[in-house]
Structure 1
Amino acid sequence: MASELAPLLLRVTLCTGAAIVLLLLLRQPLRRWCGASSAYLAWLIVPMVAIAALLPGRSAPQVLTLQLPHPVQALAAQATPAASPAAADVLLAVWAAGALAWAWWCVHAHRAFLRRAGRLAPHGAVYVSAAGAGPASVGLLRPKIVVPHDFAQRYTPDEQALVIAHEQTHIKRRDAIANLVAACFQCAFWFNPLVHLGVRRMRQDQELACDAAVMARHPQQRGVYAEALLKCHTRVGGAGLHCHWQSPHPTKERIMNLQHALPGSLRRVLGRCAVVLLAAGAFGATLGVRAEPAASAPMYSVALSLDGGVQEPESIRLHFNAMERDESDTASPLHILARSGESFSVASDGWRIDMTLRQGDAADQVWLAGKLYKDKTLVSTPTLLTRLGEQATVRVGDGDALFSLAMKVTTKP
C-alpha cells in the first residue's frame, strides 16, 4: 500500500545512511592498515543493513485453539476497501518517477559507452573498439575487455599487460554485478545524497582494490603502472555498469596509493575479520533498531466475534503475534492484545483470514488490512478503516450459511 511506503523508505534510508557515514569514516583507516581489498569488501555492509531494515519486527507467533461454530463453505468478502491517503499516493508517484528517471540515466550512460565503442573486433584476449572507448571490462554474464583502437600505439607491451590484468581482476571479482547493485540503490534512493556519495566512494575503492591486486602480482612494475594510468585521456562521462580503467576516480590518489607498501598476510586476514565483525554488528544493530518501533507502537485490545450458520462445532485456530491474550474481558472468548503492525489470523477448514492492525491518520482511527485465503490461495484483500470502539465486520456467504467476523478495537494502556 502507498501508505506503507513512507515509513519503509524512511527506515531503510536512515539505516543505510548511517552505514554509509560509518564506511566513509572507516574506509581510509581500513585501506591504510588492512589493505584496499578490505575497504572495498566493507561496502557489503550497506546492502546487509538494507536487508535488515526491511525484515519484519521480531515477534514469536502464538496459537490458540478454541471450539467455535463451524464457518460457512462459500466466501464473499463484503468490506469496502478504503482509499489510501492522497499524500501517500503523491509520495509514491514522486518516488516512482525519480526511480525511473535515475534508471533511465544509468541505462543511457551504459548505452552511451557502447555507442562510443562502436563495432568491437576480437583481438586475442581483448576486443578492439572502432573508436577511443576503453580500456574497460563490459558485460554481466559474458564480460569482455574492450580497448581503444590505438591501444597498441598508446601503451607499451608491459603497460598493456598491466591494463589487461587490471580488467581481468574486475571480471574475476564480478565487479560489474556490484556496480549493478549500486545502481539499483541509486534508483531506489535517488533522493538521498549520501547514497550517491557512497556509490562514488565504493567505485573508487573498487579501483584501488584492483590496483592493489595487480601490484601484489607485479610488485616491480609500480612505475610502469603509474605511466599507464597517466596515458588514458578518455573522459568518462558516466560510470555506467562497466569497470573503466580511467574511472571517475582521482588519478593522483591512485598513483599515490601505488607508493604504499602492501599489508602483509596477517594484516589482510585481520582486516577481513574486522569487516566480518563490523558487518555482523551493523546487521544486529539494525535489527535492534528495527524492533524498537514495534515495542513503542500503540497497544490495542481486539474483541473478535464469530457468527456462523447452524453447523457442527469445529476447531477454529486463532494465530496472533500479540504480547498476550487479554484476560480482562470475559465476555468474549476471543479477545487479544496486539500492537500496531502486528497481525492475527482466524483459520478453519482450509480457509484463513489474516488481519493486520495499523494506526490510522487520526488518533481515533485504525486500519484493518486483511488477506483471505483458501488452501493457501489468496481470494480477497479486504481493507477497513474503523474508529476505536466501533465494530468492523467482514461478512462471508449469505442466508443460513452466513458467517461474519466482527472486530471491535480499543486502546489498551
Structure 2
Amino acid sequence: MILTLLPISFAQPETITVYAGETKTVNYTIINTAEKAQAYNIYLSGPVAYFAEKRVLIDVYPKMVELQPNQSAKITVYIFASKEAREIPQNLFTLTISSELQKIEKSLIISVLRKYPVYISSVSLSKYSIFPLESTKITATIQNVKNEITPNYKLIFLIFKDGKEVFKEEEITDFIEANSKIEVSKEFFAEKYQEAGVYEVLVKLEDMRGEYIDDVKTKFEVKAVVKLPEEYTEKEIKYSLLSAKISVKVKNEGNTVSDAFYIEERLPLFMKDFVKDYTPYTEQKVEGGFVIYRWKINPLAPGESVVIEYEISLWQTWIALILILLTVIYFFRKGFRPAIVKSVKKTNGKIKVYIKLKNKSKSIMKNVEIVEEVLPMLKIESNIGLEFEEKKSGRKRYLIWKINELKPEEEVMLGYTASPLVEIVSLELPKTKVTFFDEKGRKRELQ
C-alpha cells in the first residue's frame, strides 16, 4: 500500500486478523511529495501493552526515515502472536508518519484468534545424556487457554537419529479442564548397542482428525561406549587324543566402533614348535619361559565379534611330558635309593679301599651282603671297619661283608688294605655288588 504524504490526516481503517502461533507483516510505501528533504518519525499508538499481556507483540520498523523529494521508503508493521496468545477482539491502532511539514495517519483494526484452544507449553527430558541400557523420560505439557473444557487430542512422540525415525508412540489425551494443563510422558530406552550421538525429539499435537496443532523439539545424547573385554569374551578348547583346538572370541559390547586392538595368547616355550595357527598371527615373541602370539584385530562395530583359532599338536607334547616325567622319576628314585660310594687311597706303598653304603630309601634294608672282587695283583692284608669273609670261586677272589639291617638314613663304612704284588701304574677296581631284602621281602641288587 502506498501512502502519499500530504499535510492532512488520511484515515481509512484496515482490518488485520492474526492467529496464535503466526507472525504477520503489513508493508506500506511512503513517498515524500514535499519540495525539500524531510525527516519522518514513525510510530504506532494503541493498546500495545494490552496485546503484550496476551502474548501478542506489535511493532513498526523503521522508527525514523529521511527522504529526499519524491524519494520513497518501505514501512513494515510486525504482528507476532505466540502460540500461547489468548483470543483478542478487534482493537484500533493508529500508524502515524510525521515531519515538521507533513503528517499522515493510518488506522489499523487488529484482532487475534485461535484455531485451537490448546498448545504444547513445554517438553522436558528426565535426562539429556544417557548411556546404553539407560532411559530418559519425555514429558509434554498441554495447556488449555479457553474458559471451557476441551475435547480429546492426539499427542505423537517421535525420535530421530540422523533423520531416521527410531521411536514413535502416540497418546490420546484426556479432556483438559478450562484454563488448565495436563502432562503426558513417554520413556525411551537405549538398547545395548544403541548408536551413539545426538537424537532429536519431536512432540507433535494433532486433533482427532489428524490436523496439525503444535509441535516442540528438543535433543538428547546417547554417550559413546567402547567395551572390549580385558582378555576375551569366550574361549573354547576342544581336545582330541593328539591335538587341542583353541578358539578365542572377542566381542565389542559397546555402542560405537572400537579402535584396532590385539588378542594375545601365552604358551609354555616348549610348545613353540607344536602350534598351528588357523588364523595367521601378526607377531610372535619369546618372553621369559613363554612364547607369545599376537593377532591384530581391525575395528569392530557395536555387537560385532571376531574369532581366532589355533591348534596345539599334543603327540609331541605327550612325548615331551613323558620324557620330563621319566627324568623326574629317575632323579627322584635315585635320590631315595641306597647309595654306594667307593674311594681308593695309596699310602706308603699300601692301597686302601673305602666302601661307604648309605640307606637313602624310606625302608629298612635287611640281610645286606656286600661283595667286592679282589684283583689278582693285590694281596689283602687287613680289613677296614667291619670284618669281611674271603671266598674263592675259580680263579677269582671275593671279599664279603654281611650286615643284618640298615635303617633309613643309616650308613656304614668298610673296606680293606692291600699291597700290590707288582708295580701298578693305574688301578681300576671292579664294581662293588650289594644285595639286600626290602621290607616286603623282595630281593634287591645295587651296583
TM-score, length of structure 1 as denominator length: 0.17
Higher relative contact order (CA 8 A, sep 6+): 1
Could you say which structure has the higher helix fraction? 1
Larger radius of gyration: 2
Which structure's residues are more often strand, by fraction?
2
TM-score (norm 2): 0.16
